[in-house]
Structure 1
């Protein structure tokens, strides 16, 4: 990991105040950055390969809403065969480069009946409802939530309150809820969705937890937003990743505006 951190640090043209991880189909948020510098992840020796469609695979540095932002246009998913340490690399890089806040985004399936495709949901808490594969417990990485002994909120509640308020002031509808982290890569069955709903989850996805937990352990403040791309409990046919990306593209203008408003207030 040290060589990766050193490579990014040498490339970085400034000190970021905020680091941001962009989820499936949401990478175009950076189109509105100014003074943009781009580092392809493939140019970083030892950086894990990102194979999921909808993740461009770049690290970017630029200005957004008057703040220096380090953005990850692509996410490392554990179901691709990567370790916990690899999946949480954005948090390690953010901490090493001097960021004080990690803003994580994702495309998620709605479980709460009040959520509709196209909704934006502020994540208030995270839950791991199913046991994670043993191969994810690797010697060089922190264990997932149940094994860490971490107490308290994974999401900074003051930042979440501020995001809720700024969304309301800007006239941007913003739901709030709990995000369930599952292993993937297959989407959930109807029976699993019923179980997740009873577990208190409002939305479900296959990312976000590794970088959020690691960021907290590194001393960063954390905030996270889900773009609801489908309603998991009422999907009438087989859901594909292309469906998720299509819906993400439709809500991108509102999502970009919300992130700009949140960043301006951080």
Structure 2
């Protein structure tokens, strides 16, 4: 899998373009990409070694352009560990292509279940830390020193300065934005009520099936990271509603409007310095 080939392909399609911020859009959140001005759209399938999502709600396209006056690279869709194949390598290709494209900041979004009754469907939550229950790390195996060190700190994996900027943007946009700890669960099944009770004991506020591997690869190669969860449901055992992917997509589409408003306010703030 050649990251250089993917970056070269992107450069041919949009010569001289250097994004400042990259976004990954999760399940049902793809409409944010529709706001990008003067877009160049590239299917993941056209990029050598790029991971092609197999899950509904993940378009599998890269969009380059301007959003709120900032040059951005938007990854509309992601792959998950439960999709099988060489997931670790595919995740590294996606994130390292972002790094090689020149982006300095990676903003990850996902659809998640809430473990806090007061943070119900329709809420946005800023991830401040995570718990990795996936059972793997995409950086396991031989380390490539060209990308990053063998051992690296995750103390501020979710950048405090970016978090402060997102909170400021949320206040400006009139959007409630609590902090939370995200727990990554392997899936593809939803969690059991007993697992949710255990995860709450561990200190988790949110549960989902993505994001953590991307954060690991991003921090390894020096990208600055922020992450947002769009709450689509209360986790299993916390309501009478049985979680489903259809509900995730439906609720994600509803929350996408608030997410778009928050992202635009965040990008507006970047015009005045990082």
**How does the TM-score come out when normalised to structure 1?**
0.91
Are 2:94 and 1:90 aligned?
Answer: yes
What SS class does the counterpart of residue 196 from structure 1 fall into?
Answer: helix
Give the corresponding residue for 2:54: 51
The unaligned stretches of length 5 or more in structure 1 are none
Are 2:259 and 1:255 aligned?
Answer: yes
Change beyond 3 A, Cα 1:175–1:21: same
Whole-angstrom CA distance in 1 between matches of 2:94 and 2:196: 29
Whole-angstrom CA distance in 1 between matches of 2:143 and 2:269: 33
Give the RMSD, CA atoms, in angstroms.
2.0
Task: Give runs of aligned pairs for residues 207-222 of structure 1, distance below 5 A.
Answer: 207-222=210-225
Give the corresponding residue for 1:18: 21
- Displacement of 1:244: 0.3
2:10 aligns with one of 8, 12, 25: 8
Whole-angstrom CA distance in 1 between matches of 2:186 and 2:135: 7
Are 2:244 and 1:236 aligned?
Answer: no
1:25-61 deviation digits (Å, cap 9, x = unpaired): 0011011111111001112233223100001110000
Change beyond 3 A, Cα 1:151–1:34: closer
Whole-angstrom CA distance in 1 between matches of 2:71 and 2:152: 33
1:108 aligns with one of 109, 112, 121: 112
Whole-angstrom CA distance in 2 between matches of 1:131 and 1:54: 21
Is the CA contact 1:85–1:140 (under 8 Å) kept in the aligned structure 2? Answer: no
The unaligned stretches of length 5 or more in structure 2 are 145-149
What SS class does the counterpart of residue 52 from structure 2 fall into?
Answer: coil
Whole-angstrom CA distance in 1 between matches of 2:93 and 2:117: 34
1:185-232 deviation digits (Å, cap 9, x = unpaired): 111110010111111110011111111121111111111110000000
Give the corresponding residue for 2:42: 39
1:133-161 deviation digits (Å, cap 9, x = unpaired): 59x7764678xxxx955342210011101
Task: Give runs of aligned pairs for residues 77-226 of structure 1, distance below 5 A.
Answer: 77-81=80-84, 82-128=86-132, 130=133, 132=135, 139=141, 148-226=151-229
Whole-angstrom CA distance in 1 between matches of 2:35 and 2:183: 30
Is the CA contact 2:109–2:230 (under 8 Å) kept in the aligned structure 1? Answer: yes
What SS class does the counterpart of residue 194 from structure 2 fall into?
Answer: helix
Is the CA contact 1:83–1:138 (under 8 Å) kept in the aligned structure 2? Answer: no
Give the corresponding residue for 2:77: 74
Change beyond 3 A, Cα 1:137–1:156: closer
Change beyond 3 A, Cα 1:137–1:152: closer
Change beyond 3 A, Cα 1:217–1:149: closer
Whole-angstrom CA distance in 2 between matches of 1:218 and 1:73: 21
